[in-house]
Amino acid sequence: MKAIVFTKYGSPDVLQLKDVPKPTPKDNEILVRVRATPVNYGDLTARDFAHSPFNMPAPLYLPARMAFGWNKPKIQILGSELAGDVEAVGKSVTKFKPGDRVFAYVGMNMGANAEYICLPESGSVALKPANLDYAEAATLPYGAIMAVSLLQKAKLQVGHKILVNGASGGIGALAVQLARHHYGAEVTGVCGTPRLDYVKSLGAEKVIDYTRQDFTQNGETYDVIFDILGRVSFARAKKSLKPDGILLYASFKGRALLDMLWTALFSRQKVICALADEKVESLLLVKELAEEGKVNAVIDKRFPLEQVAEAHRYVEQGHKKGNVVIAMQQDSKA
Ligand SMILES: NC(=O)c1ccc[n+]([C@@H]2O[C@H](COP(=O)([O-])OP(=O)(O)OC[C@H]3O[C@@H](n4cnc5c(N)ncnc54)[C@H](OP(=O)(O)O)[C@@H]3O)[C@@H](O)[C@H]2O)c1
């Protein structure tokens, strides 16, 4: 089968089209023919791990770098989310059958930049939303897994005001849609200039361009600030939080962990730093919301498998408005 393989860290040029053996499913696995896989934050980070910013506590850097490979990548095929067709199932698989159309999050194991991938049936894999094509469905699993799990920790209520700092990315786009259409919250999205309309189209009532305005200085207060990249400290954010508001981090350093401890003991305002639980229930919820028209997937550009490097360059240039997807069949709305 064809796959995009990289054997050293670096620029998009390290991504090479190669023939590799087609995998065979174990008893508990399904073999999926990949129809689409987006280029997301994880792909860019893993492709050049040594030079990518690390937005988590320093003690996690060592194990993460060891897991990805110190000097060269251990995992040589990128792609952490996908949509495709089940082609074969292992002997003990009961949840899926050949022909099922699925979407999945494979996380750090990656491997979706290939024509086929094997997934355990107990993993984060579910039937894809029936109303979305493969490319659209493929853009949802990572954001769904992260945003559903992390937002649950903020206990959003109908009418709450939430600001999503990083609203145009993989996690933020799902967070905006869930907050508005699932929780009934009033959403402000913060992103870069080219993506303001995109974030509005996802359901944000207000948008703020972080290159032009510092939201901590505009006098607004929120029940929840969801900071995706961990760009705002509690010291800066606290006057933008209601008296019992929550600063929820997807990315956090040691200082934020100390703020979490301090606020747990001494403050009505709280800081929450959390790692997402990878649960298939998050995919099932987002499938349901997509089928009800409450969650959408916006595709900016589709590239064929041979042009994965081009797709990475396009994302890195910072012009994308929505998702960039590797669609395995160039002609189709795969
Ligand atoms: N807690 C967990 O379990 C968990 C799991 C997975 C990932 N993460 C963390 O999540 C982060 C990646 O999130 P993602 O996949 O959503 O990333 P992404 O797709 O790259 O999106 C990043 C977002 O941040 C925005 N942004 C960039 N600079 C900003 C700034 N100075 N101020 C405000 N917003 C800014 C971007 O806006 P524009 O693009 O419009 O400029 C974009 O909306 C990583 O740091 C990773 O460590 C945490």
24 and 119 part of one domain: yes
Using CB distances shorter than 6 Å, the residues near ligand 1 are: 40-41, 55-56, 146, 165-172, 190-192, 195, 210, 228-229, 231, 250-251, 274-276
Atom of ligand 1 nearest to the CA of 193: 40
Three-state secondary structure of 29-68:
EEEEEEEEEECCHHHHHHHCHHHCCCCCCHHHHHHHHHHH
Whether 266 maps to a domain, the answer reads: yes
Same-domain pairing of 133 and 242: no
154 within a domain of the structure (yes/no): yes
| pLDDT tens digit sequence for 44-88 | 999 998 888 888 888 888 888 888 899 999 999 999 999 999 999
How far is ligand 1, taken at its centre, from the CA of residue 263, in Å? 24
Judge if 97 and 82 occupy the same domain. yes
Q: Is residue 292 domain-resident?
A: no
Query: Per the structure, how many domains does the chain have?
Result: 2
User: What CATH number is attached to the domain comprising 307?
Assistant: 3.90.180.10
What are the pLDDT digits (tens) for 5-48? 999 999 999 999 999 999 999 999 999 999 999 999 999 999 99
pTM recorded for the entire structure? 0.96
Is 286 a domain residue?
no
CATH number, residue 256? 3.40.50.720
- Does residue 118 sit within a domain? yes
Q: What pLDDT is stored for residue 334 in this prediction? A: 54
Residue 333's pLDDT band, with cuts at 50, 70 and 90, is low
CA 229 to ligand 1: nearest atom: 45
Is residue 281 included in any domain, yes or no? no
113 & 182 share domain: no
| pLDDT at site 330 | 47
Percent of the chain with pLDDT over 90: 91
Q: Where are the beta strands (DSSP E) in the chain?
A: 2-5, 16-19, 29-38, 81-89, 101-105, 116-120, 124-127, 161-165, 186-191, 206-209, 222-227, 241-249, 270-273, 299-303, 323-327
Give the residue numbers spanning the domain of 207: 143-273
